[in-house]
C-alpha cells in the first residue's frame, strides 16, 4: 500500500498531476486528477467530462469497474445539449440492473401478490372459494407451504381451527319464515334482511354492520373477527365484510389484510419513512447495499429504521453496538457537548445553522469574528485546499492515541476518544438533516435563480443533484465515524480508512460551502455560471470520492491488507 502513504504525505500540494492508483491492489481504483478540483472555476463542462473519461479509462484497464459504469462513460464523452437528462436516465438503468435484489411495492402490487398467493392455494387444494382460502392463509400466517401440508394432514381440524368449518361460508335463510327476531337489537325482521355465517347464528343486517364496523374500529385484529354469537368461533370472511359494511370501512378492512400480509412475511417490510405507503421486498439474507424506496428514502432493509437509515459502511451489528453505547454514555456526552459548544477564542456560544463545518464567530452577534472548524475547533485557516494546508480533522490526535496506550485503563481517556467519534458522528448526522432540508428547499432556490437570471430550468437541475449528493455523503460520513471508532487503532486499514474519509469529508464540506453561497453574492449571469460549475463539479467529485470510500471500505480494507 505504498501508494497511499505517498499520497498522504504529499497532502494537497500536488497540482495538475494525474494520479491513478491502487491497480490490482485490493480493489481500490481510479483516483483523480487533482486539477479537477483545484482549478474548477476555470474549467468548462467538456473539460470536466474529459477528465472523467481519462479516469474511467484507466479504471477500465484495471478491470475493476462494472459494466454499467462503462456505459455511462460513453455518455460522458458525447456533447449532447441536454446532457443531464441522458446522464441521469442512464444512471438509473445502471442502478436497476445492479440492485435487482429488492423491489418496491405499492398497494396495488401488494394486493395482486396476495391474490396470486390465494389463487395458487385454491388451485393446489381445489378449494373454489377465495374468501375461505384467505381465512386459511391468514390463519397460517400467509405461509403457503405450511398451509398445504397441514391441509393434507388433517383438513377438518385445520378448517375448524381456522374458523371456517367444512370450508362453508354463509347459511342461506329459510324463506318460509314469516319474520325473524334479531338477538342483538331484539327486533323483528323479514328473513331477507338477515344474515348468518355457516354456523347459522342469524342477525339483522343493521346489527351485523354495526358489529363489524365496531371491530374494524378496534384495529388490525378485526381481520380475525368471529361470529357475534357467544362462544362461536366461526370467522367472518372477506365476502361477508364486503356485503355487510360500507365501502369506506371495507377499504380499511382490506388494508388490515394487506398489513397482515406484510407483517407476517419476513421478506416484505413497510418502508420506515414516516407516512410512506410503500413496502419493500428483499430476498437476500445479508445486507449489502441499501434499499431505496419510491418515496426517496434510502435505508438498510435489515434494520428497517427511519432514524438509522442507511449505515454504510458499518455492518448492522456495529450500529447496534454503537447505539447501545450512545445510550449508555448519553449523560456523559450531553455534559461534554454542552460545555464545548463555544467559540474557542472568545467563548461566545456558537450556533450552527449551515451544513458546512466552517464556522464563524459572528461579530454582529457579539462574537470575535474567529473562523474555525466545527469538528476540531482549530482555526479554519489551517484547513482545506485554500491554503494547501494539511487537513487533519478526521483523525483522533496521534499523541492522544499514544497516551491511550499508556493509560489503557483510564476511563476518562476512553470517553474522550469516544467523544471524538461521537461528536463527528453527530455533526454529520445534523449536517445530513440540514442537507435533507436543503434538498427539500432546492425548489425555492431554483425559483429564486429563475427569477434573477435568464436561465432555463435545465440549468438549475444541479441544485437537486448537489443536495442529493450531499445527503448521501453526510450519511456515509456519519456512519464512517462509527466504523472508525471500532477499527483497530494501530492497523494499516486505519491509515487507508482515515485517508479516504478525510478526502470525502473535505470535499463534502467544500460542496456544502459552495452550495450555501448566498444568491446575493452572484452579481450577474457570468457569476452564476461560475458558481454553477463549482457546485456541479464538486457534486461529481464528491460522488467519485464517495464511491472510492465505499469501495475502499468494502474491498480494500478487509481484502488483502492483513499485514499486521
Partner 1 sequence: MATRYAKRLQKELMELQVSPPTGIRVEEANDLSRWVIGIDGTTGSLYQGEKFSLQFRFNDGYPLEAPEVIFIGKPPVHPHIYGNGHICLSILYDHWSPALTVLSICLSILSMLSSCTEKVRPVDDSVYVSRAVGKSPKDTR
Sign of CA dihedral 139, 145, 148, 151: negative
Which of 110, 135, 141, 102 minimizes the C-alpha distance to 265?
Answer: 141
Specify which residues 373 forms β-bridges with.
358
Interface residue with Zn ion among 36, 162, 361, 511 (CB under 5 A) is 361
DSSP for 132-194, written as a single string: HHHHHHHHTTT-HHHHHHHHHH-HHHHHHHHT-GGG--B----TT-S-EE-TTT--EE-GGGE
Q: Which does 199 bind (CB under 5 to 8 A by kind): Zn ion, partner 1, none?
A: Zn ion
For the bound state, the minimum distance from the C-beta of residue 443 to partner 1, rounded and expressed in Å, comes to 48
What's the Cα-to-Cα distance from 332 to each of 374, 397, 487, rounded to whole Å? 20, 21, 23
Cell of 412: 476518562
Nearer to partner 1, 111 or 183 (CB): 183
Q: Which does 302 bind (CB under 5 to 8 A by kind): partner 1, Zn ion, none?
A: Zn ion
For the bound state, the minimum distance from the C-beta of residue 174 to Zn ion, rounded and expressed in Å, comes to 16
List of residues contacting partner 1 (CB under 8 A):
183-187, 201, 203, 206-207, 210-211, 214, 228-232
For the bound state, the minimum distance from the C-beta of residue 207 to partner 1, rounded and expressed in Å, comes to 7
Nearer to partner 1, 207 or 350 (CB): 207
Q: Is 356 a catalytic residue?
A: yes
290-329 residues in contact with Zn ion (CB under 5 A) are 293, 295, 297, 300, 302-303, 316
Q: Which does 230 bind (CB under 5 to 8 A by kind): partner 1, Zn ion, none?
A: partner 1
**Cα-only R_g, the chain:** 31
Q: Which does 274 bind (CB under 5 to 8 A by kind): partner 1, Zn ion, none?
A: none
Residue among 33, 293, 314, 356 flagged as catalytic: 356
Burial tier of 455 (Cβ tally within 10 Å: 0-12, 13-18, 19+): middle
What's the Cα-to-Cα distance from 174 to each of 74, 188, 232, rounded to whole Å? 76, 15, 21
Q: What's the rounded Cα separation, in Å, for the pair 313 and 296?
A: 20
SS3 of residue 203 by DSSP: strand
Nearer to partner 1, 221 or 305 (CB): 221
Interface residue with Zn ion among 14, 124, 232, 554 (CB under 5 A) is 232
SS3 of residue 204 by DSSP: strand
Cell of 196: 348468518
Q: At residue 373, what are phi and psi to the nearest 5 degrees? A: -95, 130
Query: Is 370 one of the binding residues for Zn ion (CB under 5 A)?
Result: yes
Which of 553, 561, 447, 431 minimizes the C-alpha distance to 497?
Answer: 553
Nearer to partner 1, 232 or 554 (CB): 232
Interface residue with Zn ion among 122, 276, 336, 450 (CB under 5 A) is 276
Cell of 403: 497516551
Nearer to partner 1, 240 or 359 (CB): 240
Total interface residues for Zn ion by CB under 5 A: 34
Q: Which does 214 bind (CB under 5 to 8 A by kind): partner 1, Zn ion, none?
A: partner 1
Query: Is 205 one of the binding residues for Zn ion (CB under 5 A)?
Result: no
Instruction: State the SS3 of 377-446.
Output: CCEHHHCCCCCCCCCCCCCCCHHHHHHHHHCCCCHHHHHHHHHHHHHHHHHHHHHHHHHHHHHHHHHHHH
Query: Is 336 one of the binding residues for Zn ion (CB under 5 A)?
Result: no
Q: What's the rounded Cα separation, in Å, for the pair 467 and 2?
A: 35
Q: Which does 471 bind (CB under 5 to 8 A by kind): partner 1, Zn ion, none?
A: none
Q: What's the rounded Cα separation, in Å, for the pair 382 and 398?
A: 17
- Asked if 40 and 534 count as a contact pair (C-beta separation under 8 A), the reply is yes
Q: Which does 231 bind (CB under 5 to 8 A by kind): partner 1, Zn ion, none?
A: partner 1
Query: Is 227 one of the binding residues for Zn ion (CB under 5 A)?
Result: yes
Q: At residue 291, what are phi and psi to the nearest 5 degrees? A: -95, 150
Q: Which does 183 bind (CB under 5 to 8 A by kind): Zn ion, partner 1, none?
A: partner 1
Interface residue with Zn ion among 214, 346, 386, 517 (CB under 5 A) is 346
Nearer to Zn ion, 124 or 232 (CB): 232
Query: Is 527 one of the binding residues for Zn ion (CB under 5 A)?
Result: no
Nearer to Zn ion, 33 or 300 (CB): 300
For the bound state, the minimum distance from the C-beta of residue 217 to partner 1, rounded and expressed in Å, comes to 10
Residues that bind Zn ion (CB under 5 A): 182, 184-185, 199, 201, 204, 207, 227, 229, 232, 234, 271, 273, 276, 278, 293, 295, 297, 300, 302-303, 316, 343, 345-346, 348, 361, 367-368, 370, 373, 375-376, 393
Catalytic residues: 356
Amino acid at each position: 500500500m505504498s501508494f497511499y502513504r505517498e499520497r498522504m504525505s504529499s497532502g494537497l500540494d500536488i497540482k495538475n498531476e494525474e494520479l491513478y492508483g491502487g491497480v490490482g491492489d485490493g480493489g481500490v481504483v481510479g483516483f483523480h486528477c487533482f486539477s479537477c478540483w483545484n482549478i474548477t472555476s476555470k474549467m468548462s463542462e467538456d473539460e470536466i467530462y474529459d477528465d472523467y473519461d481519462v479516469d474511467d479509462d484507466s479504471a477500465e484497464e484495471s478491470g475493476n469497474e462494472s459494466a454499467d459504469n462503462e456505459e455511462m462513460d460513453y455518455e460522458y464523452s458525447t456533447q449532447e445539449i441536454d446532457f443531464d437528462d441522458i446522464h441521469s436516465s442512464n444512471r438509473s438503468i445502471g442502478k436497476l440492473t445492479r440492485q435487482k435484489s429488492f423491489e418496491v411495492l405499492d398497494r396495488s402490487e401488494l394486493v395482486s401478490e396476495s391474490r396470486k398467493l390465494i389463487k395458487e392455494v385454491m388451485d393446489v387444494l381445489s378449494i373454489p372459494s377465495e374468501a375461505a382460502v384467505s381465512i386459511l392463509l391468514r390463519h397460517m400466517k400467509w405461509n403457503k407451504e405450511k398451509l398445504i401440508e397441514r391441509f393434507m394432514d388433517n383438513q377438518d381440524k385445520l378448517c375448524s381451527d381456522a374458523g371456517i368449518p367444512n370450508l362453508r361460508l354463509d347459511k342461506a335463510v329459510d324463506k318460509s319464515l314469516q319474520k325473524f327476531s334479531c338477538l342483538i337489537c331484539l327486533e323483528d325482521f323479514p328473513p331477507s334482511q338477515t344474515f348468518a355465517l355457516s354456523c347459522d347464528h342469524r342477525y339483522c343486517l343493521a346489527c351485523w354492520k354495526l358489529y363489524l364496523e365496531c371491530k374494524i374500529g378496534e384495529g388490525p385484529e378485526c381481520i380475525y373477527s368471529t361470529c357475534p354469537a357467544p362462544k362461536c368461533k366461526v370467522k367472518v370472511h372477506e365476502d361477508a365484510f364486503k356485503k355487510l359494511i360500507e365501502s369506506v370501512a371495507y377499504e380499511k378492512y382490506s388494508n388490515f389484510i394487506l398489513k397482515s400480509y406484510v407483517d407476517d412475511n419476513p421478506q416484505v417490510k413497510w418502508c420506515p419513512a414516516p407516512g410512506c405507503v410503500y413496502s419493500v421486498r428483499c430476498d437476500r439474507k445479508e445486507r449489502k447495499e441499501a434499499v431505496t424506496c419510491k418515496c426517496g428514502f434510502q435505508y438498510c432493509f435489515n434494520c428497517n429504521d427511519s432514524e438509522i437509515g442507511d449505515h454504510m459502511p458499518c455492518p448492522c451489528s456495529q450500529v447496534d453496538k454503537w447505539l447501545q453505547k450512545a445510550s449508555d454514555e448519553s449523560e456523559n456526552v450531553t455534559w461534554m457537548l454542552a460545555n464545548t459548544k463555544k467559540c474557542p477564542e472568545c467563548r461566545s456560544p456558537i450556533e450552527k445553522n449551515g451544513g458546512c463545518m466552517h464556522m464563524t464567530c459572528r461579530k454582529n452577534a457579539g462574537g470575535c469574528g474567529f473562523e474555525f472548524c466545527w469538528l476540531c475547533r482549530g482555526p479554519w485557516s489551517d484547513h482545506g485546499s485554500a491554503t494547501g494546508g494539511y487537513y487533519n480533522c478526521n483523525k483522533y490526535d496521534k499523541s492522544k492515541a499514544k497516551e491511550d496506550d499508556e493509560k489503557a485503563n483510564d476511563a476518562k481517556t476512553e470517553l474522550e476518544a469516544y467523544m471524538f467519534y461521537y461528536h463527528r458522528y453527530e455533526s454529520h448526522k445534523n449536517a445530513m438533516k440540514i442537507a435533507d432540508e436543503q434538498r427539500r428547499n432546492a425548489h425555492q432556490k431554483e425559483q429564486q435563480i429563475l427569477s434573477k437570471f435568464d436561465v432555463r430550468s435545465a440549468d438549475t437541475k444541479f441544485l437537486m443533484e448537489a443536495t442529493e449528493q450531499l445527503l448521501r455523503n453526510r450519511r456515509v460520513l456519519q456512519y464512517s465515524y462509527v466504523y472508525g471508532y471500532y477499527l483497530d487503532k494501530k492497523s494499516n486499514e486505519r491509515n487507508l480508512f482515515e485517508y479516504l474519509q478525510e478526502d470525502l469529508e473535505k470535499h463534502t464540506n467544500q460542496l456544502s460551502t459552495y452550495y450555501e453561497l448566498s444568491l446575493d453574492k452572484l452579481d450577474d449571469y457570468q457569476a452564476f455560471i461560475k458558481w454553477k460549475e463549482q457546485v456541479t463539479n464538486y457534486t461529481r467529485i464528491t460522488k467519485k470520492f464517495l464511491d472510492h470510500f465505499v469501495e475502499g471500505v468494502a474491498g480494500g480494507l478487509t481484502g488483502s491488507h492483513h499485514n499486521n
